[in-house]
Every structure is written in structure tokens, then in C-alpha cells.
Chain A
């Protein structure tokens, strides 16, 4: 009998808790929009997370009264769902889930909370309250290739890739196409670390590329800080990616770089949520639409090269697609036939490198 009573006593809090409504957690005043954002790393990383944070801050400055809840270093695991749920319970009505691996967890919550809108960066899932956005980075890498192709003296470019997913391979391909458009002798060497953020490996990868004769290093990892600084310390050029601020890391060897400018998109999205007019979409915008910008040139870049790069960027901004056939992969197989072109919907599908890239994509 006593045992039964003990059991009931143990169950009581459970029952009470289940009865308590989720709204029991104090939420802020409901008239102003609360926006939640989760980042996979630190926002001071000179990279991807910094660009997202800067976007949120631009949104906050543009819309008076908006509150921003942020969480850094949120892993791509079950934890992500808890943090976002916590933000929702704090009253967030719009969530930016900014890392690729946050997608499934954000999507789970989107189905659970139809009244909350979600924007995920870089994925493919969609629902009535779940949109997906990212920069159309691939085409934007083309002018970066032009810059690298003009600056290299060894005709060897190095690329440090984090997780070699289709979009990253597309960036590398466009980079190689751009470089070879101005310097057909160029080859691009790729080293993948297998992680978006493993500083020691990124340093070793950069070193390995320089050992192989690369004198321009580009990268696609969360934070370009390590790669750029290692390149600078070994006296080679670098091309940045993710945040425009990265040029501070390489006063001598900086060529140029791509940075995300999420502010306008985030502001527009927040306004649409306030107006009750949120429309999820598969947004992929690039240089032309202002979601990606080109960083200022470094001191070593001649005016002539600057002009070439700017011209290539203008061309891309006006709709030039570098992935217009015929395009051959690095084993000699024609992958995009003459007259065909790969559009934005196929950028995740790359599992091959274009001619001139050394490495295997699979």
C-alpha cells in the first residue's frame, strides 16, 4: 500500500506538469515581434555566424521594437530543437535556423507550431511556415576565380573545403571556371577537412595546399580566420568567404572576398511576419539581388585585375550563368552539354569537379 502511495506521489509532479500549459513560461509582451536565431558557432568568427548576426542586427535597426534572441554554439543535434523551443516559449514568432544541420530540428518544430514562422539557411525543406534561404554563392565565386587566376604566379590555386556537399563543390567549380577563363593554365587543388569548423585541420590543410605550390588560397568553412591567417603567415594570397570583415586578417595578402549581406532579406521577412503575410519560398539570391557582396580589394591587386573582377561580377549580377555548357568534368566526361545550363535548383547536385580541379568529389 505504501509503495502504491509512493508511486502516486512520484507521478503527481508529472501529472501537474502535463496539465500546466506551455504558456506558463513567462513570455514577453506580444505586440512586438520577437525573433530567435541560432548559430552553430561564435558570432565573432569573422565568418558565417558573424554574417548572420550582422544581418539580424541590421534587421533590428531597421524595424523599431523588434527583440532578438540569439544562441551561439548550438550543436546540430537534439539540443538545437530544445533551444529553438525555448525561444518559442519566450514568445518568438520567427526563427532563423542558420546551420545546415539545424534543418530537421527546425522542421520538427515548424510542424508542431503552425503559428511560428521559420527560415532555414541552406537546406531544401519547405512548408507553409517554413522557408529556405541562402546566397546563390556558386555564380558569385566566378569573379573570385577571375581574381585568383590573374594573381597566381604558380598557376596553382588552393581551396580548403569543410564538408564537401554539393553546394560547396559548386563553389569550387565556379571558382575554377572563373580562374580558367582568364588563365587556362590554372589548376585548383582541393582539401576537405570533413567539418565546418576544425581549426587545427584547417591550418594543416592550408599548409598542405601551400606545400603543393598553391599561392592563392580560398576556402569554404564557417570561419575563414585560420585559413587566411595561415596563408598570410606563409606569404601567399587569400580570398575570403562568408563575412566581408575577414580582410582585416590579411593586410598584405588579401585579394578580395565574398560576404553575405543578409540584412535586407531578414528585414523583409520580419516585416512580412509582422504583417501576417509570411510567404515561404526557396530563396537563392546572389550578387545581383544584393544578398552577396564583394569585399574591397587588397593592396596587392593591380587596377587592371580589379577592373576584370568587377566586370565579371557585373556580368554575374546581370544574370550570367557560369554553368552553361559545354562543361567537362575532370575525368573528361561532358557533364553539361552545349546549349544546356545548370540553374539554381541543381547547385546542390554537384558530385563532380570541373576540368582543372584536382581531386575526387565522391
Chain B
């Protein structure tokens, strides 16, 4: 019965990497449009509780995922308004969104703690969201690099003023990007509650939203690298659990540090080569005309 170790590890890494990948792709799209969202953890929590509640009410896990995506869009809409229209500080607004998500998800999920809901069914080895994750990265990559929308979005991320001068509407593109980011953040949370844990509990994302923010950096703001990154980050967690099950003793804490150290190293080296993959206008707020 014992599955071969590499296969077991790979499937565990894929399972725990999936929710990270959705969150990472969402954050990545937003950052490519020049907006850092430190509130990803809050978005994921809202997605996790809304998805769970939706599945409990409708008895359909797919409707739960849809509800989570919508809730993510709504919550990120609030963030978008504050940072895009009101030009607020993105880092402060993102942290506020984290607090918002902690509170809102607790309120939404409270009646459903302990509910038994249908989880996302497996189609073959994995559930639907797992199967869709990597293709989604390819689609997003195509959108970013092969379409006019993607071109505009990246131009806005590099320099909103230049994009504005070229006749584009930076704010609209940014709203669109953050709507996509919100939906993906919500789905990411829903995958945790509906496919991985099959329960809702306050604060259940346990910092995974912040991990996804580090992952965007690790991936060099490239959707395809995000797939690799999600596997590495998801794998680091699974690996130590798989090791334990085989009686091999490794420190989970040292293991969990590896992805962050790796990210920092990658950044330092790309800095040494005089290159930075970060969108030049990241975090800047833009005021139409200057």
C-alpha cells in the first residue's frame, strides 16, 4: 500500500501548494499592475469562511468556491477603492485588510464552525481546483505577455504616468487586476477549507497569505515561475511531515526557513547582476495628472 516516496511527496506538495498558487497568482497580477496587497491573508480567510459557509448552505462545494471568489472580489474592492481612488498608502491599507479579513471571516464563519459540508470531490487523483491551478498560471502568463490588456497592465505597473500619457486609464486597469486578485485570493482560501482541511476555524490560514506574498517575490513576478515556487514552498511543508511519517527526524522549523532564505538569496543575486524583476512602479500611488 505504501506509495513510493517521490510520488507521495509530489502529490502532497501539489495539494498544499495549490492554495498557495492561487493566492500567489492573484497577488502577482495586482503587483504587476503596481499594487502591493499585504492583506492577502485577510482575503484568504474571507475566502475560506465564505466558501465553507456557501458549501454548508447550498450543499454544493462548487457554489461555495464561487461564493468565496465573489467575497474575495468584494473585499478587494474595498482595498482597491482606498488605494486606487483615494491614493492611500498601499502597505497600511493592506495591513488593514488583514485585520478586516480576520474579523469578517470570524463573523461569517461563526455559525458554521463544526458544520459538516461536502468537500470538493476528487476527479482522479485531485480535486478540480488542483487540476485548474497550473493551466491558470499559463493562461495568466498569456494574458500578461500576449494581450493588449496585459501590455497595459504591465505598463501601468512600470509607470502609471507614462501609461496615462499614452492614453490608457491606469486606475481602471488596476481595478480590474485587483478584482482578479480578489477572486483568486478567495478561491485560495476556499481550497484550504473545502478541499484540504474540510473544516472552518478562525485564523486557519495560519500565515499562508504572507507566504504567498514572499512567493511572488521568489517567482520574480512571473506566473510560470510561481508554479515552481508554489511547489517548492508547499513541498517544504509536506517534506518534513512526510519525513516524520517515515521516521526520519528533521527540524520542521529549519525546513520551513529554507524558502525564505532562498528568496532572499535569489533577490541578492539578481541585485548583484544589476537586475530587479520588480515592477518599477510597485507601491507607488498615481495621481492622474502631475
Residue of B nearest to A202 (CB): B197
B77 at the interface (CB under 8 A from A): no
- B242 partner residues in chain A, CB cutoff 8 A: 208, 211
CA distance A200 to B15 in the complex (A): 10
A230 at the interface (CB under 8 A from B): yes
Residue of B nearest to A194 (CB): B252
B105 at the interface (CB under 8 A from A): no
Given A73-B106, A207-B12, A223-B201, 7 other A-B residues pairs in contact with their CB atoms under 8 A: A191-B244, A199-B204, A200-B16, A200-B205, A204-B12, A225-B198, A359-B244
- A203 partner residues in chain B, CB cutoff 8 A: 196-198
A201 at the interface (CB under 8 A from B): yes
Q: What 0/1 pattern do residues 183 to 217 of A give for CB contact below 8 A with B?
A: 00000011111110111111111011101111100
CA distance A276 to B249 in the complex (A): 51
CA distance A205 to B12 in the complex (A): 9
- A204 partner residues in chain B, CB cutoff 8 A: 12, 15-16, 196, 237-238, 241
12 contacts between A and B (CB under 8 A): A191-B241, A198-B206, A200-B205, A201-B237, A203-B197, A204-B12, A204-B196, A208-B12, A211-B2, A213-B1, A214-B245, A249-B116
A128 at the interface (CB under 8 A from B): no
B199 at the interface (CB under 8 A from A): yes
Selecting from A37-45, A85-93, A171-179, A282-290, the interface stretch reads A37-45
A226 at the interface (CB under 8 A from B): yes
On whether the beta carbons of A208 and B16 are closer than 8 Å, the reply is no
Q: Which of B249-272 contact A (CB under 8 A)?
A: 249, 252-253
Given contacts A189-B245, A204-B238, A225-B114, contact A212 B2 (CB under 8 A): yes
B186 at the interface (CB under 8 A from A): no
CA distance A212 to B246 in the complex (A): 7
A32 at the interface (CB under 8 A from B): no
Shortest Cβ distance from residue B189 to the other chain A in the assembled complex, whole angstroms: 11
On whether the beta carbons of A230 and B238 are closer than 8 Å, the reply is no
Shortest Cβ distance from residue A222 to the other chain B in the assembled complex, whole angstroms: 9
Give the most central of A193, A194, A226: most B CB within 10 Å. A226
CA distance A67 to B11 in the complex (A): 51
CA distance A200 to B199 in the complex (A): 9
Give the most central of B2, B12, B199, B237: most A CB within 10 Å. B199
- A149 partner residues in chain B, CB cutoff 8 A: none
Shortest Cβ distance from residue A129 to the other chain B in the assembled complex, whole angstroms: 32
On whether the beta carbons of A200 and B244 are closer than 8 Å, the reply is no
- B8 partner residues in chain A, CB cutoff 8 A: 208, 211-212
A111 at the interface (CB under 8 A from B): no
A349 at the interface (CB under 8 A from B): no
A112 at the interface (CB under 8 A from B): no
Q: Which of B206-233 contact A (CB under 8 A)?
A: 206, 208
Residue of A nearest to B239 (CB): A208
CA distance A203 to B113 in the complex (A): 17
On whether the beta carbons of B201 and A41 are closer than 8 Å, the reply is yes
- B253 partner residues in chain A, CB cutoff 8 A: 194
Shortest Cβ distance from residue B4 to the other chain A in the assembled complex, whole angstroms: 9
